[in-house]
Amino acid sequence: MEIGIDSFAATKSQSSGHNAVADMQEMDNLLERIVLADQAGLAVFGLGEHHRREFLDSASSLILAAAAARTKNIKLTSAVTVLSAADPVRVFQSFATLDIISKGRAEMVVGRGSFIEAFPLFGYDLDDYDALFTEKLDLLLKIRDNERVDWSGKFRAPLQNAPIYPRPVQEPLPIWVGVGGTPQSFVRAGMLGLPLMVAVIGGETHRFKPLVDLYREAGAKAGHPEEKLQVGLHSLGYIAQTSQQARDEFFPGYAEVFTRIGKERGWGPVTRAQFDAQNGPTGALLVGSPQEVAEKIRRHSEALGGITRFTFQMDNANLPHDKLMNSIELIGKEIVPLLK
């Protein structure tokens, strides 16, 4: 199983308006964490895509390219690219360029995004939420598999024998589909034979098993071999020497972030009791000691019928840089060996 980190490039300047000095420091810190993840033996580092004040990841491929120049082994991926609001040609060109810079370590996870700011920002209608993604994923895969492309659709100008450059080092460039809880998304990924990254940020992870089964069944019916139908899991997590320490350090920022998001989405404020329950044996959060979290990852894998990748999302809990660095070291030194 591959173990990695996902980040949204959270910035501390979010509450006081734009602060260039703070943003530069946060970016330096983020790149330092990616370098450490590489040195610690983690398999992958992913960056999200948001268009909000509190995150610096609106151009994730640029950040990943900077990281590529400083790292040697770690895979570098989006987590996720909001493909519905992007031009598949430019997305492919950006990640093909990243693949060249990184000498074959680029990947992307494409999805529709859990925030909606990208749609009005780039002139798209939310009523076309699913149709946009379906059409653009079709074009992206055609570009990946063909140097010259003939294509037409509803939301973009047609391409006629159009050459798309540069071409990546990897053939094919790995493309995962990021999903939440929509059954159609799982089925679509299976029919296309694409690896699946399941984002579980709340509830109980084992409840996603029927959806993962739909993915595998759709892939098998479409004739894709079992080894091609990989499943990854993305969850909020954080590691410290003891479970109590990890939860005490993670909770304040977690509560602040999810209470704020909750106001936008009609949720109530986050309580410590809810947080502790989510850290129970079947809950979605993986906040604790190395031994406890490794056992929980193994338990989640068994519940979902086997996963090939797990990524921790930890930096939107407003944790200091030094604590995030320590958590990455613990993941590399203790969790990775335990799961091997």
Burial code of 235-255, b = ≥16 C-beta within 10 A, e = fewer? bbbbbbeebeebbebbbebbb
pLDDT at 13: 61
The tokens for 157 are 């100008």
d(CA 77, CA 74): 10
Taking 70 as the pLDDT cut, the residues of the chain under it are 13-17
Residue indicated by tokens 């320490």: 245
pLDDT at 183: 96
Give just the sign of the alpha carbon dihedral 293, 307, 336, 254. negative
pLDDT at 263: 82
d(CA 317, CA 10): 9
d(CA 266, CA 186): 26
d(CA 202, CA 180): 11
- Its CATH architecture, for the domain 2-339, is Alpha-Beta Barrel (3.20)
Size of the chain, expressed as the number of residues it contains: 340
Cα Rg, the chain, nearest whole Å? 19
pLDDT at 267: 81
Residues 37, 66 contacting (CB under 8 angstroms): no
The residues, any chain, with a CB within 8 Å of residue 173's CB and separated by 6 or more, are 92, 95, 96, 99, 106, 107, 108, 144
pLDDT at 316: 76
Q: Phi, psi at residue 339, to the nearest 5°?
A: -80, -15
The tokens for 209 are 């098993």
Residues 81, 133 contacting (CB under 8 angstroms): no
pLDDT at 315: 86
Domain boundaries in the chain?
2-339
d(CA 66, CA 82): 21
Name the residue type at position 210. P
pLDDT at 105: 98
The residues, any chain, with a CB within 8 Å of residue 266's CB and separated by 6 or more, are none
Nearest to 122 by CA among 109, 137, 132, 134: 132
As a 3-state breakdown, the chain gives helix, strand, coil percent values, each rounded to 5, of 50, 20, 30
pLDDT at 340: 87
* pLDDT per position as a tens digit, 60-104: 999 999 999 999 999 999 999 999 999 999 999 999 999 999 999
Other CB atoms within a 10 A radius of the CB of residue 40 amount to 18
Residues 269, 262 contacting (CB under 8 angstroms): yes
pLDDT at 164: 98
For residue 267, give the DSSP letter: P
The tokens for 228 are 């091609």
Nearest to 63 by CA among 92, 118, 20, 102: 102
d(CA 143, CA 152): 13
H-assigned helices in the chain = 20-39, 60-68, 88-101, 118-121, 129-145, 183-192, 209-221, 243-265, 272-278, 290-303, 321-330, 336-339
Residue indicated by tokens 């799982």: 186
